[in-house]
Amino acid sequence: MEALLDVVKVEVGADYALLLEFENGEKRVFDMRPFMDKKPFVKIKDTPLFAQARVGYGTVVWPGNIDIAPETLYDRSVPLVDCGQNHGRPALA
């Protein structure tokens, strides 16, 4: 079983993209669009709250006690280098 990796940095990109850096130094892009019509994320859809994403407890959290499992972020994200031109999303520095 692989160890869970904590998120150490998050930036909000265009179209509900999360630009993530994990504790092992990997930089990945996670597409939140498939989640935005589901609870609890519908609460932050089309609001300024989505842009308030931050790192907390090793994962991404939002106001209102909303978070997402770090293993979901890792397993369903793609490495930044595999994103070509980042599909219009800013790269992590």
Predicted TM-score (pTM) of this structure: 0.83
Q: What DSSP element (H or E) covers 17?
A: strand 17-22
Q: What is the mean pLDDT of the chain?
A: 89
CA dist., res. 32 & res. 23, Å (int): 21
CA dist., res. 93 & res. 68, Å (int): 23
Q: Domains plus CATH for the chain? A: 7-80 (3.30.2020.10)
**pLDDT tens, position by position, 15-52:** 999 999 999 999 999 999 999 999 999 999 999 999 99
Residue 70: beta bridge partners? none
